[in-house]
Amino acid sequence: MLGVSVLDMGASSKLPEAEWQQVRQALRASMGVRSFDHWLKPVALAAYDPDRALITLSVNSSFMAGWVKSHHADRLLAAWKLALPAVRSVEIISSSDGMALSSAPVEADEVVVAPVEATSASSAFDPRQTFQSFVTGTTNALAANAAKALCGETGNRYSPLFIHAQTGQGKTHLLHAIGHAWVNAHPGRTALYMSAERFMLDFVHAMKARDTLAFKTRMRSAQLLMIDDVQFIAGKESTQEEFLHTVDEVLRLGGTLVISADRPPHLLDGVEGRILSRLTQGLVADIKPADFGLRRAILGVRAAAHPEVKIGDEVLDLLAGRIQSNIRELEGALNRLVAYASLSGRAVTIDFADEVLADMFRASQRRITIDEIQKRVSEHFRIRQAEMVSARRAREVARPRQIAMYLAKQLTPRSLPEIGRRFGGRDHTTVIHAVRQIERLRGLDTDMDNDIRTLLRTLEG
Protein backbone atom coordinates (compact mmCIF):
# COMPACT_ATOMS: atom_id res chain seq x y z
CA MET A 1 0.00 0.00 0.00
CA LEU A 2 1.29 3.44 -0.88
CA GLY A 3 2.09 5.81 1.95
CA VAL A 4 1.04 9.41 2.12
CA SER A 5 4.60 10.54 1.45
CA VAL A 6 4.39 9.22 -2.11
CA LEU A 7 2.14 12.08 -3.17
CA ASP A 8 2.42 15.79 -2.65
CA MET A 9 -1.23 16.53 -2.18
CA GLY A 10 -0.78 19.00 0.61
CA ALA A 11 -1.97 16.38 3.08
CA SER A 12 -0.53 16.64 6.55
CA SER A 13 -2.88 14.42 8.56
CA LYS A 14 -2.59 10.68 8.83
CA LEU A 15 -4.44 8.39 6.48
CA PRO A 16 -8.01 7.53 7.56
CA GLU A 17 -7.31 3.79 7.65
CA ALA A 18 -10.26 2.90 9.87
CA GLU A 19 -12.71 4.68 7.57
CA TRP A 20 -11.06 3.01 4.57
CA GLN A 21 -11.78 -0.39 6.07
CA GLN A 22 -15.41 0.68 6.62
CA VAL A 23 -15.61 1.73 2.95
CA ARG A 24 -14.18 -1.59 1.78
CA GLN A 25 -16.59 -3.59 3.93
CA ALA A 26 -19.59 -1.57 2.72
CA LEU A 27 -18.62 -1.96 -0.92
CA ARG A 28 -17.96 -5.68 -0.51
CA ALA A 29 -21.45 -6.10 0.94
CA SER A 30 -23.23 -3.95 -1.66
CA MET A 31 -21.35 -5.23 -4.74
CA GLY A 32 -20.95 -8.85 -3.80
CA VAL A 33 -17.71 -10.60 -2.90
CA ARG A 34 -16.87 -11.68 -6.44
CA SER A 35 -17.18 -8.25 -8.09
CA PHE A 36 -15.45 -6.49 -5.21
CA ASP A 37 -12.50 -8.88 -5.15
CA HIS A 38 -12.08 -8.62 -8.90
CA TRP A 39 -12.16 -4.83 -9.28
CA LEU A 40 -11.84 -2.99 -5.96
CA LYS A 41 -9.80 -5.26 -3.72
CA PRO A 42 -6.50 -4.10 -5.36
CA VAL A 43 -7.33 -0.43 -4.74
CA ALA A 44 -5.06 1.18 -2.13
CA LEU A 45 -5.53 4.29 0.00
CA ALA A 46 -2.78 6.72 -1.12
CA ALA A 47 -3.51 10.12 0.44
CA TYR A 48 -6.04 12.30 2.21
CA ASP A 49 -6.08 16.06 1.84
CA PRO A 50 -8.50 17.46 4.44
CA ASP A 51 -8.10 21.02 3.12
CA ARG A 52 -9.49 19.96 -0.25
CA ALA A 53 -11.69 17.20 1.23
CA LEU A 54 -9.99 14.89 -1.28
CA ILE A 55 -9.30 11.17 -0.98
CA THR A 56 -6.68 9.78 -3.38
CA LEU A 57 -6.80 6.07 -4.21
CA SER A 58 -4.16 4.16 -6.13
CA VAL A 59 -4.14 1.13 -8.44
CA ASN A 60 -1.20 -0.49 -10.17
CA SER A 61 -1.94 0.33 -13.82
CA SER A 62 -3.42 3.13 -15.91
CA PHE A 63 -5.93 0.68 -17.40
CA MET A 64 -7.22 -0.25 -13.93
CA ALA A 65 -7.30 3.42 -12.91
CA GLY A 66 -9.46 4.27 -15.91
CA TRP A 67 -11.72 1.28 -15.35
CA VAL A 68 -12.28 1.94 -11.65
CA LYS A 69 -12.92 5.62 -12.35
CA SER A 70 -15.39 4.92 -15.18
CA HIS A 71 -17.37 2.22 -13.40
CA HIS A 72 -16.94 2.65 -9.63
CA ALA A 73 -15.97 6.26 -8.85
CA ASP A 74 -19.44 7.29 -7.73
CA ARG A 75 -19.86 4.15 -5.67
CA LEU A 76 -16.54 4.87 -3.95
CA LEU A 77 -17.48 8.51 -3.31
CA ALA A 78 -20.83 7.53 -1.83
CA ALA A 79 -19.19 5.01 0.50
CA TRP A 80 -16.57 7.53 1.60
CA LYS A 81 -19.21 10.17 2.35
CA LEU A 82 -20.98 7.73 4.63
CA ALA A 83 -17.76 6.74 6.41
CA LEU A 84 -16.17 10.21 6.48
CA PRO A 85 -18.76 12.95 5.74
CA ALA A 86 -16.06 15.61 5.25
CA VAL A 87 -14.96 13.96 1.98
CA ARG A 88 -16.20 15.79 -1.13
CA SER A 89 -14.27 14.07 -3.91
CA VAL A 90 -12.28 10.94 -4.71
CA GLU A 91 -9.34 10.80 -7.12
CA ILE A 92 -8.12 7.54 -8.66
CA ILE A 93 -4.58 7.37 -9.99
CA SER A 94 -2.13 4.84 -11.36
CA SER A 95 1.06 4.10 -9.45
CA SER A 96 2.79 2.42 -12.41
CA ASP A 97 2.90 5.10 -15.09
CA GLY A 98 4.71 7.90 -13.26
CA MET A 99 1.61 9.73 -12.08
CA ALA A 100 2.22 9.02 -8.39
CA LEU A 101 5.97 8.67 -8.18
CA SER A 102 7.22 12.23 -7.81
CA SER A 103 6.19 15.31 -5.90
CA ALA A 104 8.17 17.63 -8.17
CA PRO A 105 6.52 19.13 -11.27
CA VAL A 106 7.96 17.62 -14.44
CA GLU A 107 7.34 18.00 -18.14
CA ALA A 108 5.82 15.02 -19.94
CA ASP A 109 8.79 14.63 -22.30
CA GLU A 110 11.11 14.19 -19.31
CA VAL A 111 9.19 11.39 -17.63
CA VAL A 112 10.71 7.94 -18.04
CA VAL A 113 7.91 5.41 -18.20
CA ALA A 114 8.30 1.69 -18.78
CA PRO A 115 6.63 0.74 -22.06
CA VAL A 116 3.42 -1.29 -22.05
CA GLU A 117 3.73 -4.55 -23.94
CA ALA A 118 1.45 -5.15 -26.91
CA THR A 119 -0.92 -8.09 -26.82
CA SER A 120 -3.24 -9.78 -29.24
CA ALA A 121 -5.51 -11.14 -26.52
CA SER A 122 -9.06 -9.88 -26.32
CA SER A 123 -8.54 -9.47 -22.57
CA ALA A 124 -6.42 -6.41 -23.35
CA PHE A 125 -9.63 -4.54 -24.14
CA ASP A 126 -12.24 -3.33 -21.67
CA PRO A 127 -14.64 -6.27 -21.29
CA ARG A 128 -17.66 -4.00 -20.94
CA GLN A 129 -16.94 -1.93 -24.05
CA THR A 130 -18.19 -4.14 -26.85
CA PHE A 131 -20.46 -3.66 -29.85
CA GLN A 132 -23.20 -5.44 -27.88
CA SER A 133 -23.08 -2.80 -25.14
CA PHE A 134 -22.78 0.15 -27.54
CA VAL A 135 -26.21 1.74 -27.97
CA THR A 136 -26.64 3.13 -31.49
CA GLY A 137 -28.75 6.12 -32.51
CA THR A 138 -28.87 8.65 -35.32
CA THR A 139 -25.97 10.67 -33.90
CA ASN A 140 -23.45 7.81 -33.80
CA ALA A 141 -24.70 5.36 -36.43
CA LEU A 142 -22.08 6.19 -39.08
CA ALA A 143 -19.15 5.67 -36.73
CA ALA A 144 -20.67 2.50 -35.23
CA ASN A 145 -21.43 0.93 -38.62
CA ALA A 146 -17.98 1.79 -39.96
CA ALA A 147 -16.36 0.29 -36.85
CA LYS A 148 -18.31 -2.95 -37.29
CA ALA A 149 -17.52 -3.14 -41.00
CA LEU A 150 -13.83 -2.66 -40.25
CA CYS A 151 -13.76 -6.01 -38.47
CA GLY A 152 -15.15 -7.93 -41.46
CA GLU A 153 -13.39 -9.43 -44.45
CA THR A 154 -13.67 -6.25 -46.54
CA GLY A 155 -13.15 -3.86 -43.65
CA ASN A 156 -9.73 -2.67 -44.77
CA ARG A 157 -11.29 -0.41 -47.37
CA TYR A 158 -12.27 1.88 -44.46
CA SER A 159 -8.70 2.02 -43.12
CA PRO A 160 -7.54 4.41 -41.84
CA LEU A 161 -10.76 4.94 -39.89
CA PHE A 162 -10.70 8.33 -38.16
CA ILE A 163 -13.37 8.72 -35.46
CA HIS A 164 -13.82 12.11 -33.85
CA ALA A 165 -16.16 13.21 -31.08
CA GLN A 166 -16.28 15.48 -28.09
CA THR A 167 -15.17 14.05 -24.77
CA GLY A 168 -17.39 11.32 -23.35
CA GLN A 169 -19.44 10.54 -26.47
CA GLY A 170 -18.25 6.97 -26.96
CA LYS A 171 -15.24 7.00 -29.29
CA THR A 172 -13.02 5.05 -26.88
CA HIS A 173 -15.84 2.55 -26.38
CA LEU A 174 -15.87 1.97 -30.13
CA LEU A 175 -12.11 1.42 -30.25
CA HIS A 176 -12.33 -1.25 -27.55
CA ALA A 177 -15.32 -2.80 -29.34
CA ILE A 178 -13.29 -2.95 -32.56
CA GLY A 179 -10.49 -4.64 -30.63
CA HIS A 180 -12.78 -7.35 -29.25
CA ALA A 181 -14.46 -8.06 -32.59
CA TRP A 182 -11.25 -7.89 -34.64
CA VAL A 183 -9.23 -10.37 -32.58
CA ASN A 184 -12.19 -12.75 -32.55
CA ALA A 185 -12.50 -12.49 -36.32
CA HIS A 186 -8.73 -12.73 -36.91
CA PRO A 187 -7.32 -15.19 -34.33
CA GLY A 188 -3.56 -15.21 -34.06
CA ARG A 189 -3.11 -11.74 -35.54
CA THR A 190 -1.72 -8.84 -33.52
CA ALA A 191 -3.88 -5.96 -32.30
CA LEU A 192 -2.47 -3.01 -30.40
CA TYR A 193 -4.43 -0.23 -28.69
CA MET A 194 -2.84 2.72 -26.92
CA SER A 195 -3.45 6.38 -26.28
CA ALA A 196 -1.40 8.95 -28.20
CA GLU A 197 0.00 9.98 -24.82
CA ARG A 198 1.29 6.44 -24.24
CA PHE A 199 2.74 6.36 -27.76
CA MET A 200 4.64 9.55 -26.97
CA LEU A 201 5.90 8.37 -23.58
CA ASP A 202 6.97 4.97 -24.86
CA PHE A 203 8.84 6.62 -27.73
CA VAL A 204 10.63 8.98 -25.33
CA HIS A 205 11.53 6.02 -23.13
CA ALA A 206 12.90 4.11 -26.13
CA MET A 207 15.04 7.07 -27.22
CA LYS A 208 16.49 7.55 -23.75
CA ALA A 209 17.16 3.82 -23.45
CA ARG A 210 18.74 3.84 -26.94
CA ASP A 211 16.34 1.08 -27.95
CA THR A 212 14.12 2.63 -30.59
CA LEU A 213 14.33 -0.49 -32.78
CA ALA A 214 12.22 -2.53 -30.34
CA PHE A 215 9.67 0.28 -30.17
CA LYS A 216 9.49 0.62 -33.97
CA THR A 217 9.15 -3.15 -34.41
CA ARG A 218 6.35 -3.38 -31.86
CA MET A 219 4.38 -0.54 -33.39
CA ARG A 220 4.85 -1.37 -37.03
CA SER A 221 4.22 -5.10 -36.74
CA ALA A 222 0.70 -4.59 -35.41
CA GLN A 223 -1.88 -5.82 -37.92
CA LEU A 224 -4.48 -3.67 -36.15
CA LEU A 225 -3.16 -0.45 -34.65
CA MET A 226 -5.51 1.84 -32.74
CA ILE A 227 -4.34 5.19 -31.39
CA ASP A 228 -6.74 7.07 -29.12
CA ASP A 229 -6.85 10.87 -28.64
CA VAL A 230 -4.30 11.70 -31.33
CA GLN A 231 -4.62 15.42 -30.50
CA PHE A 232 -2.09 14.85 -27.72
CA ILE A 233 0.81 14.64 -30.17
CA ALA A 234 0.19 18.24 -31.25
CA GLY A 235 3.39 20.25 -31.03
CA LYS A 236 5.57 17.18 -30.39
CA GLU A 237 7.81 17.24 -33.47
CA SER A 238 9.93 14.13 -32.85
CA THR A 239 6.89 12.12 -31.78
CA GLN A 240 4.99 13.21 -34.87
CA GLU A 241 7.86 12.15 -37.11
CA GLU A 242 7.88 8.67 -35.60
CA PHE A 243 4.07 8.52 -35.68
CA LEU A 244 4.13 9.36 -39.40
CA HIS A 245 6.61 6.57 -40.14
CA THR A 246 4.53 4.16 -38.07
CA VAL A 247 1.35 5.03 -39.96
CA ASP A 248 3.09 4.68 -43.32
CA GLU A 249 4.57 1.29 -42.45
CA VAL A 250 1.34 -0.17 -41.03
CA LEU A 251 -0.56 0.87 -44.14
CA ARG A 252 2.20 -0.31 -46.49
CA LEU A 253 2.07 -3.78 -44.92
CA GLY A 254 -1.70 -3.94 -45.35
CA GLY A 255 -2.49 -3.38 -41.69
CA THR A 256 -5.65 -1.79 -40.31
CA LEU A 257 -5.42 1.63 -38.67
CA VAL A 258 -7.97 3.30 -36.40
CA ILE A 259 -7.44 6.78 -34.99
CA SER A 260 -9.60 8.86 -32.65
CA ALA A 261 -9.54 12.52 -31.70
CA ASP A 262 -11.71 15.06 -29.93
CA ARG A 263 -12.08 17.15 -33.10
CA PRO A 264 -12.06 16.65 -36.90
CA PRO A 265 -8.71 16.44 -38.70
CA HIS A 266 -8.77 19.99 -40.10
CA LEU A 267 -9.04 21.41 -36.57
CA LEU A 268 -6.04 19.53 -35.17
CA ASP A 269 -3.79 22.54 -34.67
CA GLY A 270 -0.16 21.61 -34.21
CA VAL A 271 -0.39 18.28 -36.09
CA GLU A 272 1.63 18.12 -39.31
CA GLY A 273 -0.23 18.24 -42.60
CA ARG A 274 1.56 15.08 -43.78
CA ILE A 275 0.01 13.15 -40.90
CA LEU A 276 -3.45 14.60 -41.47
CA SER A 277 -3.35 13.70 -45.16
CA ARG A 278 -2.57 10.06 -44.26
CA LEU A 279 -5.31 9.87 -41.66
CA THR A 280 -7.99 11.18 -44.02
CA GLN A 281 -7.24 8.71 -46.84
CA GLY A 282 -9.84 6.29 -45.50
CA LEU A 283 -13.09 7.19 -43.75
CA VAL A 284 -13.66 10.10 -41.36
CA ALA A 285 -16.66 9.45 -39.11
CA ASP A 286 -17.98 11.72 -36.39
CA ILE A 287 -20.05 11.04 -33.30
CA LYS A 288 -22.34 13.96 -32.63
CA PRO A 289 -23.63 14.77 -29.13
CA ALA A 290 -26.38 12.31 -28.21
CA ASP A 291 -29.95 13.54 -28.59
CA PHE A 292 -32.64 12.88 -25.99
CA GLY A 293 -33.76 9.64 -27.63
CA LEU A 294 -30.27 8.14 -27.57
CA ARG A 295 -29.58 9.36 -24.04
CA ARG A 296 -32.81 7.78 -22.85
CA ALA A 297 -32.09 4.52 -24.67
CA ILE A 298 -28.61 4.32 -23.13
CA LEU A 299 -30.02 4.88 -19.65
CA GLY A 300 -32.60 2.15 -20.21
CA VAL A 301 -29.92 -0.37 -21.18
CA ARG A 302 -27.58 0.60 -18.34
CA ALA A 303 -30.36 0.61 -15.72
CA ALA A 304 -31.35 -2.92 -16.77
CA ALA A 305 -27.86 -4.04 -15.76
CA HIS A 306 -28.70 -3.12 -12.13
CA PRO A 307 -31.82 -5.17 -11.35
CA GLU A 308 -31.10 -4.85 -7.62
CA VAL A 309 -32.15 -1.16 -7.78
CA LYS A 310 -35.53 -0.20 -9.23
CA ILE A 311 -35.36 3.02 -11.25
CA GLY A 312 -38.62 4.22 -12.76
CA ASP A 313 -39.10 5.72 -16.22
CA GLU A 314 -39.75 9.16 -14.75
CA VAL A 315 -36.30 9.20 -13.13
CA LEU A 316 -34.60 8.03 -16.34
CA ASP A 317 -36.48 10.72 -18.27
CA LEU A 318 -35.28 13.30 -15.75
CA LEU A 319 -31.64 12.24 -16.19
CA ALA A 320 -31.86 12.16 -19.98
CA GLY A 321 -33.38 15.62 -20.04
CA ARG A 322 -31.12 17.31 -17.49
CA ILE A 323 -27.69 15.85 -18.31
CA GLN A 324 -26.91 16.64 -21.93
CA SER A 325 -23.14 17.22 -21.83
CA ASN A 326 -21.90 13.72 -22.70
CA ILE A 327 -22.63 10.03 -22.32
CA ARG A 328 -19.90 9.43 -19.76
CA GLU A 329 -21.43 11.91 -17.33
CA LEU A 330 -24.91 10.54 -18.03
CA GLU A 331 -23.76 7.04 -17.12
CA GLY A 332 -21.88 8.48 -14.15
CA ALA A 333 -25.12 10.02 -12.87
CA LEU A 334 -26.90 6.69 -13.14
CA ASN A 335 -24.02 4.90 -11.39
CA ARG A 336 -24.17 7.44 -8.57
CA LEU A 337 -27.90 6.86 -8.10
CA VAL A 338 -27.38 3.10 -8.02
CA ALA A 339 -24.50 3.42 -5.55
CA TYR A 340 -26.34 5.76 -3.18
CA ALA A 341 -29.51 3.68 -3.31
CA SER A 342 -27.57 0.45 -2.65
CA LEU A 343 -25.64 1.89 0.26
CA SER A 344 -28.50 3.82 1.87
CA GLY A 345 -31.38 1.43 1.17
CA ARG A 346 -33.57 4.30 -0.08
CA ALA A 347 -35.94 4.13 -3.05
CA VAL A 348 -34.92 5.96 -6.23
CA THR A 349 -37.53 8.70 -6.70
CA ILE A 350 -37.50 12.10 -8.38
CA ASP A 351 -36.77 13.75 -5.03
CA PHE A 352 -33.97 11.27 -4.33
CA ALA A 353 -32.42 11.97 -7.75
CA ASP A 354 -32.66 15.73 -7.20
CA GLU A 355 -30.91 15.35 -3.86
CA VAL A 356 -28.13 12.99 -4.98
CA LEU A 357 -27.46 14.65 -8.34
CA ALA A 358 -27.93 18.30 -7.36
CA ASP A 359 -24.33 19.22 -8.19
CA MET A 360 -24.43 17.44 -11.57
CA PHE A 361 -27.72 19.10 -12.48
CA ARG A 362 -26.28 22.51 -11.63
CA ALA A 363 -23.09 21.85 -13.56
CA SER A 364 -24.99 20.68 -16.63
CA GLN A 365 -26.64 24.08 -16.98
CA ARG A 366 -23.40 25.62 -18.22
CA ARG A 367 -20.51 23.26 -18.83
CA ILE A 368 -17.13 24.82 -19.50
CA THR A 369 -14.65 22.54 -21.27
CA ILE A 370 -10.86 22.45 -21.05
CA ASP A 371 -10.71 23.03 -24.79
CA GLU A 372 -12.76 26.21 -24.37
CA ILE A 373 -10.47 27.38 -21.57
CA GLN A 374 -7.38 26.76 -23.68
CA LYS A 375 -8.91 28.64 -26.58
CA ARG A 376 -9.91 31.69 -24.50
CA VAL A 377 -6.58 31.89 -22.68
CA SER A 378 -4.67 31.55 -25.97
CA GLU A 379 -6.68 34.37 -27.52
CA HIS A 380 -6.24 36.57 -24.45
CA PHE A 381 -2.45 36.19 -24.43
CA ARG A 382 -2.14 36.06 -28.24
CA ILE A 383 -0.48 32.66 -28.54
CA ARG A 384 -1.45 29.65 -30.63
CA GLN A 385 -3.76 27.16 -28.92
CA ALA A 386 -1.33 24.39 -29.91
CA GLU A 387 1.19 25.94 -27.50
CA MET A 388 -1.01 24.77 -24.63
CA VAL A 389 0.00 21.17 -25.34
CA SER A 390 3.51 21.85 -26.63
CA ALA A 391 6.79 21.27 -24.81
CA ARG A 392 7.85 24.92 -24.96
CA ARG A 393 8.83 26.44 -21.61
CA ALA A 394 9.35 30.04 -22.66
CA ARG A 395 7.68 32.39 -20.17
CA GLU A 396 5.29 33.85 -22.76
CA VAL A 397 3.88 30.32 -23.25
CA ALA A 398 4.44 28.69 -19.85
CA ARG A 399 2.57 31.34 -17.84
CA PRO A 400 -0.62 31.29 -19.97
CA ARG A 401 -0.47 27.48 -19.85
CA GLN A 402 -0.34 27.60 -16.04
CA ILE A 403 -3.27 30.03 -15.99
CA ALA A 404 -5.27 27.69 -18.23
CA MET A 405 -4.50 24.76 -15.90
CA TYR A 406 -5.57 26.86 -12.93
CA LEU A 407 -8.86 27.78 -14.63
CA ALA A 408 -9.44 24.16 -15.64
CA LYS A 409 -9.12 23.16 -11.98
CA GLN A 410 -11.50 25.95 -10.91
CA LEU A 411 -14.14 25.64 -13.62
CA THR A 412 -14.32 21.98 -14.59
CA PRO A 413 -14.95 18.75 -12.64
CA ARG A 414 -11.90 17.09 -14.24
CA SER A 415 -9.33 15.39 -12.02
CA LEU A 416 -5.73 16.57 -11.84
CA PRO A 417 -4.44 13.66 -13.98
CA GLU A 418 -7.16 14.37 -16.57
CA ILE A 419 -6.22 18.04 -16.72
CA GLY A 420 -2.56 17.12 -17.10
CA ARG A 421 -3.35 14.79 -20.00
CA ARG A 422 -5.27 17.56 -21.79
CA PHE A 423 -2.18 19.79 -21.60
CA GLY A 424 0.11 17.61 -23.68
CA GLY A 425 0.28 14.59 -21.39
CA ARG A 426 1.72 16.39 -18.40
CA ASP A 427 1.91 14.83 -14.97
CA HIS A 428 -0.70 15.72 -12.34
CA THR A 429 2.03 17.24 -10.14
CA THR A 430 2.66 19.78 -12.92
CA VAL A 431 -0.98 20.83 -12.59
CA ILE A 432 -0.66 21.08 -8.80
CA HIS A 433 2.41 23.30 -9.21
CA ALA A 434 0.59 25.51 -11.76
CA VAL A 435 -2.47 25.95 -9.52
CA ARG A 436 -0.37 26.87 -6.47
CA GLN A 437 1.82 29.21 -8.51
CA ILE A 438 -1.13 31.12 -9.97
CA GLU A 439 -2.88 31.30 -6.59
CA ARG A 440 0.29 32.83 -5.14
CA LEU A 441 0.82 35.26 -8.02
CA ARG A 442 -2.78 36.49 -7.97
CA GLY A 443 -2.09 37.93 -4.52
CA LEU A 444 1.13 39.60 -5.67
CA ASP A 445 0.47 40.71 -9.24
CA THR A 446 -2.54 43.00 -9.82
CA ASP A 447 -2.28 42.72 -13.61
CA MET A 448 -2.39 38.94 -13.47
CA ASP A 449 -5.34 39.01 -11.10
CA ASN A 450 -7.16 41.33 -13.52
CA ASP A 451 -6.34 39.03 -16.44
CA ILE A 452 -7.80 36.05 -14.62
CA ARG A 453 -10.90 37.97 -13.57
CA THR A 454 -11.44 38.96 -17.20
CA LEU A 455 -11.05 35.36 -18.34
CA LEU A 456 -13.45 34.14 -15.66
CA ARG A 457 -16.09 36.64 -16.81
CA THR A 458 -15.59 35.58 -20.43
CA LEU A 459 -15.81 31.87 -19.68
CA GLU A 460 -18.67 31.98 -17.16
CA GLY A 461 -20.68 34.54 -19.07
What CATH number does domain 108-287 carry, 3.40.640.10, 3.90.850.10, 1.10.3080.10, 3.40.50.300?
3.40.50.300
Task: Give the β-pairing of 44-49 and 54-59.
Answer: antiparallel
pLDDT of residue 388: 92
CATH numeric code, 370-460:
1.10.1750.10
pLDDT of residue 77: 86
Contact at 8 Å (CB) between 162 and 279?
A: yes
The C-alpha atoms of residue 56 and residue 46 are separated, in whole angstroms, by 5
- Tell me the pLDDT tens digit for each residue of 389-404: 998 888 899 999 999 9
Of 139, 159, 141, 137, the C-alpha closest to 150 is: 159
pLDDT of residue 380: 93
Q: Find the angle CA(21)-CA(25)-CA(27) to the nearest 5 degrees.
A: 115
Contact at 8 Å (CB) between 152 and 185?
A: yes
The C-alpha atoms of residue 57 and residue 188 are separated, in whole angstroms, by 37
pTM to 2 decimals?
A: 0.58
Identify the three-state secondary structure at position 256. strand
Contact at 8 Å (CB) between 27 and 37?
A: no
CATH numeric code, 4-94:
3.30.300.180
What CATH number does domain 292-365 carry, 3.40.190.290, 1.10.8.60, 1.10.730.10, 1.10.10.10?
1.10.8.60
The C-alpha atoms of residue 189 and residue 28 are separated, in whole angstroms, by 39
pLDDT of residue 111: 21
DSSP character string of 91-138:
EEEESSSSTTS-SS---GGG---PPPPP---GGGS-TT-STTT----T
Domain residue extents for the chain: 4-94, 108-287, 292-365, 370-460
Low-confidence ranges of the chain (pLDDT < 50): 1-12, 97-123
The C-alpha atoms of residue 232 and residue 240 are separated, in whole angstroms, by 10
